[in-house]
Structure 1
Amino acid sequence: MIIIIKAGQEHIIDELQQRFGGTHDVFTHHNRVALEGITEDELNPDERAAAEQIIDNPPKAVQGSRLFHPEDTIVETAHSKIGGDHFTMMAGPCSVESAEHVMKMAAVAKEGGATVLRGGAFKPRTSPYSFQGLGEDGLKYLRAAADAYDLDVLTEVMDQDHVGMIAQYTDIFQIGARNMQNFSLLKAVGKTNIPVMLKRGMSATIDDILNAAEYIAAGGNHNIIITERGIRTFDNKYTRNTLDVGAVPVLQKLTHYPVIVDPSHAAGHTEFVIPEALAGVAVGASGLVVEIHDDPAHAFSDGAQALKPGEYLEMIQKAYAIRDALKTLVQEKSEVEL
């Protein structure tokens, strides 16, 4: 149940916490109180009188719901504001291959307007014989490259045992699609204050990812970014996954967390990355995360979906043109309505 408290009746919030907090989960946000497992019949007359509205059947992922938290969450890092009216570019190699290479890719990412450098130091691969990443050395190289170009670090954490170590190097944890329902890992990052980019699982529904985000929020960490990266459908012959662009506005309606698009993992082939990225921008995503590489044919991982520097810069130019056009249309509509 969510109770929206009338102005001037905020003292009721403390009373609700004291009365139910010992036996039930109680969450508060401004003038809203979410009471897990409590029905309206259990409220006393004063509590009912203080309620402007009572929502009896809120979503299970209540902390992530706009019913509980109507305004957009803005995730702020040293160099980025993610969510709301902000548009955030994240770019970098799939894997950190060497100190020299990630430094070169950081320069390219920065040139294109990125504020976040992505790169994997621990890589979840389909085959156990594929390159698994450079581990902590890779994190050190990634951190150094990001610092050299005033960028934030985004890197994947694969298990709870690595959370503490990776926290020393990253500005944003990435939870990959394969780990979206690794609940022990979600609980572990939920206990930190480091932002988390949660990728939608390959067969996950909208409710699945919202409930996964709730595991992070339940630990106290509300700096969550949701990423649509394509889902597995009947046809993966031509693209690696199917980019569900429709999920972006649906998620934006249901949750206050920023929603960004990863066209690289959705497309799986360079020629489709730019069109899918632009589709994500057009549908209103709060940002993009893409893979770049100067020599994709010899990349240690996922070279087939990496954009060359020139392609990345072309994508950026088109992405901002679409975003600017949408802003102009919205502004013109507002002026007409006035």
Structure 2
Amino acid sequence: MNIKSWHTDKKPWIIAGPCSIETEAQFDDTVGQLVKNGIKTIRGGVWKPRTRPNSFEGVGEVAFPWIKAAKKKYNVDFAIEVASAEHVELALKNEIDILWIGARTTVNPFNVQEIAEALRGVKDVPILVKNPINPDLNLWIGALERLHDVGIEKIGAIHRGFSTYQESLYRNIPLWQIPLDLKSRFPELLLINDPSHIAGKRSLLFEIAQKAMNLQFDGLIIESHRNPDEAWSDAAQQLTPDALDDFIKNLEIRNPGFPNSSFQNQLDQIRDEIDETDKELLEVIARRFDLVKQVGNYKKDKNVAIFQLERWQKILAERPEWGKKLNLSPDFVKSLYQEIHDESIRIQTDIFNKK
């Protein structure tokens, strides 16, 4: 997939607007305030895929005349989510400038292919693809490939976090390595962060957006409403236009490269130390798994079950506390040992399976 760079405006590209277009007055007032604060690309939900039935699912086609009026009045581009070929047809008919495919749609290749076919031959409308709700990089890439294969040239990706059954600080856990892996494979791909859907609450929005800027994301798509507390959907994660303006002004935009050769040389020295430390770290992990193999052989000889709940509970209780004394995040340590435990189970299972 040969993706070309296409968005040349100043970074970060800010796309902002209400989660849902609710009424003509609400939409016009919100857009007017956003434009006054310098926002040039507006987002808004026309159709809202909801997790549970009988909740607000958007006003639908009723919103298109309001969008046309706002586009003409404020001279802005407008972006909406599409989830079917019918949505694509209506969006293009009503001169929508940017389309995005949501996380619940990206997860279904049949739906994405249907949308891709509806877009065949469309050249000037950017198509942005949110990550699937589950952490599957290949599924995300597959959606981008389907659009690329029908001739879409202006393609971008939106990182909105991933659903999890585990308790989390976030509405959707970021799993930053997944979008970074995507960017590594396709360096010219436009990559936008959606702090609203990762955070789920206003108090976390800034730290997520700032981290995206630290990681060289190309832009942010963020929800803003004239009165968030009265919003018909996602009230807790929306900002007023003025709060969003302060939010953006406080973001620190990082340089894409190094300011001088001296800085580069110093950074290279630190990275050399990191490389050596990583070698030592891997050697320690290898030694640990050698011990795991000894345990596996002993359990097999004594006909003892692989999984020992009491031992695993002891590790989960002790290791985060050990990490805390070393200024390591307990959540990180717990996550690390869950990975180590999974690999230990796999190693011991292989030992049991050998005749």
Q: What TM-score results when the alignment is normalised by the length of structure 1?
A: 0.71
- The structure 1 residue matched to 2:67, chosen from 142, 160, 182, is 142
Structure 2 partner of 1:39: none
Structure 2 partner of 1:41: none
Structure 1 partner of 2:260: 333
Cα distance in 1 between the residues matched to 2:12 and 2:160: 17
SS in 2 for 1:170: coil
Structure 1 partner of 2:147: 216
Equivalent pair of 2:33/2:242 in contact (CA under 8 Å): no
- The structure 2 residue matched to 1:107, chosen from 28, 32, 50, is 32
Identity value in percent: 27
- The structure 2 residue matched to 1:179, chosen from 93, 97, 105, is 105
- The structure 2 residue matched to 1:196, chosen from 118, 122, 127, is 127
Question: What aligned pairs does 1:297-316 form with structure 2 within 5 A after superposition?
Answer: 297-316=229-248
Structure 2 partner of 1:253: 184
SS in 1 for 2:216: coil
Equivalent pair of 2:171/2:197 in contact (CA under 8 Å): yes
Identify, as 1 or 2, the structure richer in helix: 2
One-letter amino acid matched to 2:171: R
Structure 2 partner of 1:53: none
Residues 66-121 of structure 1 show CA distances to partners (whole Å, capped at 9, x for unaligned) of xxxxxx5114xxxxx46xx7321000000011122111211232244322100011
- Structure 1 gap ranges (5+): 1-61, 65-71, 76-80
Cα distance in 2 between the residues matched to 1:247 and 1:184: 25
Question: What is the CA-CA distance between 1:270 and the residue it aligns to?
Answer: 1.2
SS in 2 for 1:332: coil
| Aligned-pair Cα RMSD in Å | 2.2
C-alpha distance 216-111 of structure 1, shift in aligned 2 (>3 A): same
State the aligned residue count.
Answer: 258
Structure exhibiting the larger radius of gyration computed from Cα positions: 2
One-letter amino acid matched to 1:274: F
Structure 2 partner of 1:126: 51
Kindly report structure 1 stretches of 4+ aligned residues shifted beyond 6 Å: 335-338
> Which deviates the most, 266-275 or 190-199?
190-199
Q: What TM-score results when the alignment is normalised by the length of structure 2?
A: 0.67
Equivalent pair of 1:248/1:285 in contact (CA under 8 Å): no
Cα distance in 1 between the residues matched to 2:28 and 2:5: 31
- Structure 2 gap ranges (5+): 266-355
> Which deviates the most, 211-220 or 200-209?
200-209
One-letter amino acid matched to 1:169: E
One-letter amino acid matched to 1:63: N
Cα distance in 2 between the residues matched to 1:204 and 1:155: 23
